[in-house]
Amino acid sequence: MLPRMNTSPLSVSLQAAGSSARAEILIGRGCACASAILESPQGPRDVLWAPDDYATPAGRPSAGGIPILCPYPGRLASTTMEFQGRSFTLPPGDQFGRPIHGLAHDRPWRIREQTGHSVSAEFRLAIDAPEAVQSWPADFTLSASWTLHPDRLDLDLDLLAHGAMPAALGLHPYHPVPVIPGADTEACQIEIPATRFQPQEQLLPVGSPVPSGQRIAFPGRVALGGITLDDPFCGLLAEGGGSSGDIVARVVDPASGAMIRAAWSEAFSACVIFTPPHRRAVCIEPYTVLPGQRTFDTAVGWRILETGEHLGGRYSVSTG
């Protein structure tokens, strides 16, 4: 067994020099971002939502902020999966008793580098969750770097395989609804550049993706009033219509023009949209794979990494 390194502090506070922007990163629990207050034309505002207890030991790791999901985002179809002729068992987690959100989002990470406006940390399965090593085909290291700017928060992710393994990454950002306090919650809009929708039954995929319009009027803006979603989309269009570049989604208050802009690299080829029952937030979740799979099919985004190979991506959230 690899030696366990010193445990990092529970949280790190970031401050963008010369501005009111600040963020809190929960190094001690998944390296999630708990809050991010950024400058905007409407003044400083939080672009993330989280319950009051989120940053405490009692908080549920996937209930707010921006949790990091790896080596599988969302659900897998079963607690028993097979890879290259070998079976392995994963812990149940969702309401149907299926694995959900990976092995890193609820465990302590270790700080590698820190400044006033940035922090880099890593999670290695064999060091930071040795009890879970048998739950995945190989050991891996996941690195995350958060960088705060006055009006933007960036995240760079890198997954390194220490053996042959299936690999996927995901994020679970919660954005406040309404975008600014006092705005009309029902009129708040989401803009998603998705052309395809993956039909589901009991939150598992059924058949192949179909045009998004069969579920909701994406690509484009849709008012959140009366909409309930926990659905995966794909066929994401890069901003400007190019074949490469950032994929951009928005949460918009149409009356004031205030918005939250989320952008991610094309490695995140799918997106889950979730409206929590409390209706105080909407989740726009970039994934590198369509979730809920029964096998590690590369056709839906799974990467099969060999020893020393990487999977990475970038995500940003800003005020416009």
Q: How does pLDDT run along the chain (320 residues), one tens digit per residue?
A: 333 333 334 899 999 999 999 999 999 999 999 999 999 998 999 999 999 999 998 899 999 999 999 999 999 999 999 999 999 999 998 999 999 999 999 999 999 999 999 999 999 999 999 999 999 999 999 999 999 999 999 999 999 999 999 999 999 999 999 999 888 999 999 999 999 999 999 999 999 999 999 999 999 999 999 899 999 999 999 987 655 579 999 999 999 999 999 999 999 999 999 999 999 999 999 999 999 999 999 999 999 999 999 999 999 999 98
pLDDT score, position 280: 95
Model confidence, pTM: 0.94
312 beta partners: 158
pLDDT score, position 178: 94
pLDDT score, position 289: 98
pLDDT score, position 24: 97
pLDDT score, position 244: 59
Residue 76 in tokens = 């897998």
pLDDT score, position 239: 87
Tell me the fold of 12-318.
Beta-galactosidase; Chain A, domain 5 (2.70.98)
Give 62's contacts (C-beta < 8 A, 6+ positions apart).
100, 101, 105, 106, 172
Nearest to 93 by CA among 69, 113, 117: 69
Integer Cα distance of 280 and 18 in angstroms: 31
pLDDT score, position 6: 38
Nearest to 305 by CA among 84, 124, 68: 84
